[in-house]
Amino acid sequence: MQIEVYQQRRQQLLAQLPERSVVLLSAAAEQTRSRDTEYPFRQHSDFWYYTGFNEPDALLILTKTAAGECRSLLLCRDKDPFAEMWQGRRLGPAAALTTLGLNAISLSERSASLQQALNGMQAVYLNLGDEPALQQE
């Protein structure tokens, strides 16, 4: 699909949100089958619907400020040539804008990004049950 389709879907969701809201959508995690072997990866349907991104452990943050300004931010794994040799290529934050139409930063900046996104918000929407660690942050 074209990146415009995913951008339009995000815009439609953000248009329905009240001001001072944030949506947190987590990607699926890889599931270990035995020691160093994983089951075939399948992305969470809701995450895929809004991003078209098929890598594990990512997070999509959609915010609508008090002024009605809408922002989208993807947190994803960094490029890592060694890991990519075994697990396949990673998009990385730098390529996300051109490939997905999303601003992106490293997943290592997750805590700071969540604090910034949640600051001053009145409503938080997230896909419960998909990532228990996210619910605790």
* pLDDT tens per residue, range 107-116: 999 999 999 9
Q: Is the pLDDT of residue 134 over 70?
A: no
Its pTM stands at: 0.87
Class in CATH terms, 3-136: alpha beta
Alpha-carbon span 57 to 116, nearest angstrom? 20
Q: What is the DSSP code string of 51-93?
A: H----TT-EEEEEE-TT--EEEEEEEPPP-HHHHHHH-----H
Q: Is the pLDDT of residue 137 over 90?
A: no
Work out the burial of residue 100: count CB atoms within 10 Å of its CB; fewer than 13 is exposed, 13-18 middle, 19 or more buried.
Answer: buried
Amino acid 59 reads L
Residue ranges covered by each domain of the chain: 3-136
Q: pLDDT tens across 73-90, in order?
A: 999 998 878 877 888 788
